[in-house]
Structure 1
Amino acid sequence: MSEKKGVLRLLEIADEKRSLLVVSGILSSLSAICMLIPYASVYFILQELLLHASAPANADGAYMVRWGVIALAGLVGSLILMYAGGMVSHIAAFRILYGLRVKLASHIGRLPLGWLNGTSTGAVKKTLEQNVEKVETFVAHQLPDLVQVIVTTVVMIGVMLYLNVWLALACVVPIVLALLVQVLSFASTRTKENVRKYYDSLERMNGSAVQYVRGMPAIKVFGQTVHSFRRFYADMIAYRDYCVKHTNDFQNGYLTFKVILGSFAAFILPVGVFLLSRDPQNVAFASVLLFFLVMAPGISAPMFKIMFLTSTLRDIGEGVERMDRIFAEPPVAEPPVAEPPVAEPPVAEPLASRQPEHFDVQFDDVSFAYSTEGEAGKEALSRVSFLARHGQVTALVGPSGAGKSTVANLIPRFWDVQEGAIRIGGVDTREMSSSDLMNTVAFVFQETFLFYDTVYNNIAVGMPDAAPEAVYAAAKAAQCHAFIQKLPQGYDTLIGEGGVYLSGGEEQRVAVARAILKNAPILVLDEATAFADPENEYEMQLALAELVKGKTVIVIAHRLSTIREADQILVMQKGKVVEQGRHEALLQANGLYARMWAAYTDAQNWQIGKQRGRVDTDEHAQQYYSR
């Protein structure tokens, strides 16, 4: 990780050449100098009038007109140079934005899928959009402002020191005091901590807002308000409280800053009057004092921008830290690049990704624990071993928290195992490239994610180059063609923002259509019919029956009736495989599976009004039957 912080780290991440920023800085500097010309023109005109105060008619009119034209030319030149500098800075800003977003998206795409599952969508979205968007404001607008402030201040102080040291020092005092107030207000440890908490609360609110919007139909159906969605409401209140606290912390510093910068005359006049009182007839000094009084606003006006500049720099610093947290996440380890033989001419360097000869999935003494804040947590799997053969269905059953979903998630390398190995066709999954592994495994989980895109593209993501006929065939096989045809634009209907939201069963069938289209040799299913209504469940079972033919199928079963014909059933409890076999053999063993089956069948036959003994059976089902 780089030791650079803030803007320097930002430019390092974006890898943007500084040439455009240098050109923008030069143009902004020239604009700042030209902007001082009108102030100088006013001074020379007033000086001419002061020299002929007793007889204004004797003042040189042509001289004053000439300075008026020079003032106009300086103003026009300043605006032109400011526009040119702004255009260049905008080009640089958008290039930096592009570089940042591409690098972030590329890195996130190489992270373990488990990281994405455990990270709030709103938090990632805020980093990619809002934190990065701050860069455009800074580079395109406030960086030129910073250059103007520095150039204006340096040039003016240099001129003032040349004219009169004491009056120049009187101008430097409010500048130093204003900057000191800025440092005390924004650079303290307490302020930094409050800013961090502010951004944390904003990030949490963004994350819970996404969930709230998705759950809004249910909230409306039950006649509830935002208060019923406690997490979102609590996050909003926390954000409001930090905003108020944020404002209260800065209001005194902000007011003091404004008062000091608006009071240059209060510092200049006492010194000027004192010096003038020692030589009242000194007309030359009087004109110099007049110059200071006229030109002081030329310093104070641009320095007001420092307040907003400091705020943006703080925002960028916080945003860069959050980007670095993402970059600090280690990507999925890929096999090393194979070195081509020396004797042969160098061609494209292939990845040393091993290709499986068949598609049996083997867990070999696998242990795994989810890490929490960098430390290993309780083991989710402990020394799990089994073989799922190609062309067969392997079902995982067991109580909630037994480790079924962990087994499914480890096959496509959502995480890497800590001990043991997972092999496909005898090849360790860690020796396969991510692209090869993803092409080998298809999965349909209970929690389905659909992109804010058309229905067609949501299905075609399983195979982007597929012909439209193949996409439609997959949709028909997944029993979702009929409801898609009823949507406003059919397959071109947008899902999500600006479009429609599908029901849980409809989303599940779209996910099944993806898997059918992908046609991968290994299929992982997490109760793919969980959200299907009774009318369509039979059709989906038929679709899945076609989908699983000739594949290695690993299915997490919540309804035991769906896996009676599985080639093997793995019964899991507390992260271990405690029983293994076919349905009939497991029933005869009279172990955990037999008790789960009894609880399941009793729950299916349970009716209100039966004897009290049924309550014990229902409790038995809750203990052993995974939701």
Structure 2
Amino acid sequence: MGDEEVFETELDAYRDRAEKPLWRLFKQYGRGEQRWLVIGLVTSVFTYAALLVTPIVLGTTIDAVFTQESAYALPLVPEPWLPDDRTDQFWLSTGIISAALLGGAVLQWIRGVSINFFAHGVMYAIRVDTYEKMQRLDMTFFDNKETGEVMSILNNDTGNLEVFFDNALGDAVRVGVIVLGVTAALLYTNTQLALVTLGAVPLLVGFTWWFVRVIEPRYTRQRSVIGDLNTRIENGLSGIELVKTASTEEYENERVRSVSRDVFDAEMDVLKLSYFYRPGMELVTGTALLATFIIGGLWVFSGPPLFFSGTLSVGDFVVFMLLTQRLTGPMAQLSSIVDWYENARASGKRICGLMDVPVRIENAPNPVSLEDIDGQIEYDDVTFGYEGEETVLDGVDFAVEAGETVALVGSTGAGKSTVAKLLLRLYDVNEGAVRVDGHDVRDVDVSDLRESIGYVSQDTFLFDGTVGENIRYGRFDAGDEAVREAAKAAEAHEFIQDLSKGYETRVGERGVKLSGGQRQRIALARVILRDPAIILLDEATASVDTETEYLIQRSLDRLTADRTTVAIAHRLSTIRDADTVLVLEDGRIVERGNHAELLAVNGLYANLWGVQAGEIDDLPEEFVERASRGDVSGQ
């Protein structure tokens, strides 16, 4: 990726520590589907054993019926059961071959269905569990890991495991059955010539061992760069409006082109080695077939060559050639099995890495259940810093009584939004405590805590679905009338009715078909429908026009009446009636009081108010600089 800084995330670290990932995933998820695996493996044995019937029966028939070089005998069939008449022998052979072909086809169908039930069942369970694990991770994980990388794990890597459990396991059984069966049949037919055919096996094993060692790091890199590509594409599509308005299409194209080149290079590293290994395997097995043909052919028409002794019948020679051909394909298939294994192993390490990332935000052993809470909030000497960064909050200490409103103001980066995230327990404090109704939020059931808090942010998110579904999100059992009442309270009912299908109108991914103000009012309706005891407003009117702000503010006044409210202010006029205003700077509370009291102090709040109200023309340089850094929006 050029000169970009390369650093290891938490997921990368746990991925590198994962040991025996495929065996671990098989033990954890395969046991629940093992009945299908057993059926698949057992039928595989009989399926591929049936493939050996035809050449063995043909060889016997040629020698006994056509050339009459030997008596008619079939392995595992008692001699009294065999007919003496050559015509009967011919038709018996025909029947056995037909039964083997038909039975093999039926068994192959059973094998395929069973193995696929197993493979897809395992993939389903892994995909669901990895997604559920991702949902439980704290926000620190998502701060450090890009969305495309996680999507690659949930989609591509689970798909690679499915391919491995489906194809590789079945083909491994096929190779094992055929190799053992053919080896036994060859040794039984002619031990000397069998040693010629089987002489390739040690070479194939050694070649495969070398390939596994060399290909593993290439597959690891391939999975990593595919995650980078997914991230780059996801970012480009998510920010398509910015790309177009900034006319940076070529810049984004170049970024995708660059990471696509990395993917191309990584894949070619794998393919070049694979295409060296596969032809090499085929060359070795083909050479074994050729050697068998030359030595066996000479043996048939001119006697035993070199140091060989004894006789070789035409039928035995035919059996050798047919069985050797049966052996050549599976041995060459080892390359694909190893390919699937290494690809799945790299994916398995990434999945296990995600599974191993610790869940930091989880319930205490005996969590406190929040029911009918009053809404009292307390920050007790709270200190916090994001992972790997400097302290964001330092000694933040305040309390909000039930039903009161506290407003947080300050310049960009002061730590206002971080205060809100700690109340929601998206992160845990480093020192101090955050309490609700006297309970440390770390001791409270996480679901109860978050269900009791209604959060409205500046960046409203809507899912791709209908307007009604987005309002109902979090209260999925709410009826249509309750949804409409919530929309009316949020000043959203009128514009929703004007949409093409009203509440059934699809809003598009992230709500792109709606304006910012419309999305914000739907988000408010969502919170109103939930009816929480505590309201968190993170610059809820920062990105809307004056008329829309008036409508939203009117619905906010209704929403926050008689509820405990923490409001992060963008426009100070919206919080002038707050019971308490806290002014943050560099993670500390530097001023506190109500609107009138803070104006009287003539400190930072008064100067911020003056900037917004246009009442101060000649400001000190430090306040001009502070105002230019941001319009008192928050971190």
TM-score (ref. length: structure 1) = 0.86
Q: 1:242 to 1:618 in 2, by over 3 A?
A: farther
Task: Measure the CA separation in 2 of the matches of 1:284 and 1:27.
Answer: 34
Q: 1:505 offset after TM fit, Å?
A: 3.6
- More displaced stretch, 59-68 vs 466-475: 59-68
SS in 1 for 2:304: helix
Residues 439-485 of structure 1: CA distance to partner in whole angstroms, max 9, x if unpaired? 21111222333223332222111322222111122223333334433
Q: Partner residue of 1:476?
A: 488
Q: 1:276 to 1:492 in 2, by over 3 A?
A: farther
Q: 1:65 offset after TM fit, Å?
A: 4.8
Choose from 317, 324, 328 the match for 1:296.
324
Q: 1:620 to 1:365 in 2, by over 3 A?
A: closer
Q: Partner residue of 1:56?
A: none
Choose from 25, 34, 40 the match for 1:18.
34
Contact 2:463 2:511 in 1 (8 A): no
SS in 2 for 1:319: helix
Task: Measure the CA separation in 2 of the matches of 1:356 and 1:362.
Answer: 18
Contact 1:599 1:620 in 2 (8 A): no
Q: Partner residue of 2:417?
A: 405
Task: Measure the CA separation in 2 of the matches of 1:381 and 1:11.
Answer: 45
Task: Measure the CA separation in 2 of the matches of 1:154 and 1:431.
Answer: 61
Residues 344-396 of structure 1: CA distance to partner in whole angstroms, max 9, x if unpaired? xxxxxxx5536585311111011112224xxxx32121221111232222122
Q: Partner residue of 2:433?
A: 421
SS in 1 for 2:597: helix
Q: 1:428 offset after TM fit, Å?
A: 0.6
Q: 1:279 to 1:71 in 2, by over 3 A?
A: farther
Establish whether residue 163 from structure 1 lines up as the match of residue 189 from structure 2: yes
Q: 1:424 to 1:617 in 2, by over 3 A?
A: closer
Q: Partner residue of 1:215?
A: 239
Task: Measure the CA separation in 2 of the matches of 1:598 and 1:185.
Answer: 72
Paired amino acid for 1:384: V
Q: 1:108 offset after TM fit, Å?
A: 3.0
Task: Measure the CA separation in 2 of the matches of 1:499 and 1:404.
Answer: 26
SS in 1 for 2:551: helix
Task: Measure the CA separation in 1 of the matches of 2:195 and 2:143.
Answer: 60
SS in 2 for 1:402: coil
Q: 1:461 to 1:250 in 2, by over 3 A?
A: same
Residues 123-167 of structure 1: CA distance to partner in whole angstroms, max 9, x if unpaired? 333322332233333333432222111111111112222333343
- More displaced stretch, 532-541 vs 223-232: 223-232
Q: Partner residue of 1:340?
A: none
SS in 2 for 1:276: coil
Task: Measure the CA separation in 2 of the matches of 1:232 and 1:570.
Answer: 45
Contact 1:523 1:554 in 2 (8 A): yes
Q: 1:506 offset after TM fit, Å?
A: 3.2
Choose from 369, 374, 378 the match for 1:353.
369
Q: Partner residue of 2:218?
A: 194
- More displaced stretch, 16-25 vs 586-595: 586-595
Contact 1:405 1:556 in 2 (8 A): yes
Q: Partner residue of 2:557?
A: 545
Establish whether residue 35 from structure 1 lines up as the match of residue 35 from structure 2: no
Q: 1:20 offset after TM fit, Å?
A: 2.2
Q: Structure 2 matches for 1:14-413, cutoff 5 A?
A: 14=29, 15-47=31-63, 51=67, 63-116=89-142, 118-188=144-214, 191-220=215-244, 224-225=248-249, 227-228=251-252, 231-269=255-293, 272=296, 273=298, 276-278=304-306, 283-284=311-312, 287-331=315-359, 332-337=361-366, 352-353=368-369, 358-372=374-388, 377-413=389-425
Task: Measure the CA separation in 1 of the matches of 2:372 and 2:35.
Answer: 50
Residues 80-119 of structure 1: CA distance to partner in whole angstroms, max 9, x if unpaired? 0011122222222333233223323333333335534554
Q: 1:383 to 1:230 in 2, by over 3 A?
A: farther
Contact 2:304 2:311 in 1 (8 A): no
SS in 1 for 2:454: strand
Task: Measure the CA separation in 2 of the matches of 1:562 and 1:239.
Answer: 51
Q: Which has the higher contact order (CA 8 A, sep 6+)?
A: 2
Task: Measure the CA separation in 2 of the matches of 1:104 and 1:130.
Answer: 13
Q: Structure 2 matches for 1:517-536, cutoff 5 A?
A: 517-536=529-548
Q: 1:162 to 1:444 in 2, by over 3 A?
A: same
Q: Partner residue of 1:433?
A: 445
- Provide structure 1 residue ranges, at least 5 long, that are not aligned to the other structure: 54-58, 338-350
Q: 1:282 offset after TM fit, Å?
A: 5.3
Task: Measure the CA separation in 2 of the matches of 1:552 and 1:230.
Answer: 50
Contact 1:529 1:541 in 2 (8 A): yes
Q: 1:493 to 1:402 in 2, by over 3 A?
A: same
Task: Measure the CA separation in 2 of the matches of 1:309 and 1:270.
Answer: 30
SS in 1 for 2:455: strand
Task: Measure the CA separation in 1 of the matches of 2:380 and 2:510.
Answer: 47
Q: 1:215 offset after TM fit, Å?
A: 2.5
Q: 1:47 to 1:479 in 2, by over 3 A?
A: farther
TM-score (ref. length: structure 2) = 0.85
Task: Measure the CA separation in 1 of the matches of 2:529 and 2:433.
Answer: 29
Q: 1:265 offset after TM fit, Å?
A: 1.6
Q: 1:111 to 1:624 in 2, by over 3 A?
A: closer
Q: Partner residue of 1:6?
A: 21
Paired amino acid for 2:146: S
Task: Measure the CA separation in 2 of the matches of 1:244 and 1:562.
Answer: 59
Paired amino acid for 1:259: L
Task: Measure the CA separation in 2 of the matches of 1:33 and 1:395.
Answer: 77
- More displaced stretch, 553-562 vs 400-409: 553-562
Q: 1:502 to 1:208 in 2, by over 3 A?
A: farther
Contact 1:113 1:413 in 2 (8 A): no
Task: Measure the CA separation in 1 of the matches of 2:333 and 2:498.
Answer: 56
Establish whether residue 570 from structure 1 lines up as the match of residue 582 from structure 2: yes
- Provide structure 2 residue ranges, at least 5 long, that are not aligned to the other structure: 1-13, 70-84
Q: 1:527 to 1:294 in 2, by over 3 A?
A: same
Paired amino acid for 1:7: L
Task: Measure the CA separation in 2 of the matches of 1:561 and 1:233.
Answer: 48
Q: Partner residue of 2:629?
A: 623
Q: 1:618 to 1:456 in 2, by over 3 A?
A: same
Q: Structure 2 matches for 1:486-497, cutoff 5 A?
A: 486-496=498-508
Q: 1:202 to 1:258 in 2, by over 3 A?
A: same
Residues 400-437 of structure 1: CA distance to partner in whole angstroms, max 9, x if unpaired? 22211111111111011121110001111111111211
Q: 1:334 offset after TM fit, Å?
A: 1.2
Q: 1:64 offset after TM fit, Å?
A: 4.3
Q: 1:209 offset after TM fit, Å?
A: 1.9
SS in 1 for 2:570: coil
Task: Measure the CA separation in 2 of the matches of 1:223 and 1:63.
Answer: 82
Task: Measure the CA separation in 2 of the matches of 1:226 and 1:259.
Answer: 47
Contact 1:599 1:624 in 2 (8 A): no
Residues 3-47 of structure 1: CA distance to partner in whole angstroms, max 9, x if unpaired? 862332122332525232112100111001012222324433554
Paired amino acid for 1:293: M
